[in-house]
Structure 1
């Protein structure tokens, strides 16, 4: 199995608080990886470290076999990485259409989320939480990034819309993209994910396939 991205012995600190304690994680290419954990477990910090939004205090971040620990976030984005954070994922002053752009990308986004069609002229700051989430996700997916990082992408979405999204993420991985999803619990629609990692207080406490997680078992 080819590895697309890795964290090696990564420690991340926010002031005096250490959010990741020497974490080792591997994210296989062409698969969906799900990061699970309670709030404060460190799953969002893993995504931010991969994206370059935070700089590890120690350890290394690798992408495509190359160390990118010191590569700025905007250069990682230019190389094909997209991060959709759990909050503040849209620009309030821009319209939905401006977020999605023109051409095939916009058509792909509204094909996945037809709920956005009547909202194209609306400014993102006037949308509901779920509408903002669809806008941010549509924009990221339409770009067809090589590495897609999603923090709680189901937040604010109706169950039917979330199911649509999960199917699209699995399809994107089947076409060669690498997807990493952070969530408080494993979504039923991502039972076909390649790998699941469970974090607890900044450490990895489980790595394996979704089927190895005991159904309904509470996270540590």
Structure 2
């Protein structure tokens, strides 16, 4: 039912943004896009979540020449994740204890994997950042590995230069997120479960 898929989508998007906040508050390193978001946020009068929203909207505009078609999940992705991230940053008190920060990091990575599976499992459109490399792969015929690497290394380097946090969490996220999403996709409801798992496996290995 569409109403259940929409509910699953919004739960996934909210959890995705909240777990991003957990990684931010751990101060142990972020995924490449969030390094960029945090770096930009240190340079402008916007919150982290607002930068996430603005970046998502700008990236979505890049879909136009790539002839990518957004779904309702794409549009909600732009809005909900950023709002949830700001809510999480407001709610979570940044701990001084390293063990607590490590727990925040681990919980954030695992929770982000579950959130990604819920969002993908709803099958209501890719996020703007994923749609960017999907469109480039289709347009150029080059590999997923190439375009994901080019895009993520670019935003990681720019974000680091701007002051975003790169650390052990960045490496942990890169190694763990693909297998985690694939695992959770085997559990969460949604259409074409086997097909979705194969696509994530291909993306993770590319």
Fold similarity call, TM over 0.5: no
Taking structure 1 as the reference length, the TM-score comes to 0.29
Higher relative contact order (CA 8 A, sep 6+): 2
Q: Highest CA radius of gyration, 1 or 2?
A: 1
Structure with greater strand share of residues: 1
Taking structure 2 as the reference length, the TM-score comes to 0.30
Structure with greater helix share of residues: 2
